[in-house]
Amino acid sequence: MVFLDEAIAELSSTPQRAAELAGGLSEMQLSWKPAPEIFSARENILHLRDTDVEGYEQRIRLILSEDSPTLPDVNGRKLAQERDYNRQAVQPALDDWRRSRAASIARLRNCSGEDLQRKAEMQGVGIIDLQRLLKLWVEHDRGHIADLMELRRAIETGTGPSFVQHQAA
């Protein structure tokens, strides 16, 4: 069950990695967007929270407790717009995300090799098993961590809002 152990380890570390990447940023820096279609650091974190709470936590629970369930789709872009992520606080989102992620990880720690083969129909994806769901989840996390790293780099190298703030001073 090397795959499951590796997936659990990576999924367990993501909330802390995101918190570290956002740590020490000002409110302005957390909300800075290099382009309108790109999530800010704040939007990345709130998106990760919502996809965990409303997506992956529910999907894990369903696939482990029901036979061939339908797993909900989560439209992250729509949620970001409707919930106006850039006006929400980061710390409560991190706390909620950590609680949701911990609940999912606890369920996964009790999985067997057979559980990885449990099937479900995921809206917008089709028939998948738990192993494929975990791969999708890990890829999703990696993409957002890469985005947070790039945003942090832009801020620290002077191409982000800290540069603009110093220019105006």
Q: What confidence score (pLDDT) does residue 166 get?
A: 31
Phi, psi of 40, deg, nearest 5: -75, 175
Q: What confidence score (pLDDT) does residue 158 get?
A: 82
Q: Dump pLDDT digits (tens) for 144-157.
A: 999 999 999 999 99
The CATH number that domain 2-162 falls under is 1.20.120.450
| Cα–Cα distance measured from residue 18 to residue 101, given in angstroms and rounded to the nearest whole number | 13
Q: Dump pLDDT digits (tens) for 45-68.
A: 999 999 999 999 999 999 999 999
Which residues neighbour 10 within 8 Å (Cβ) at sequence distance 6 or greater?
138, 141
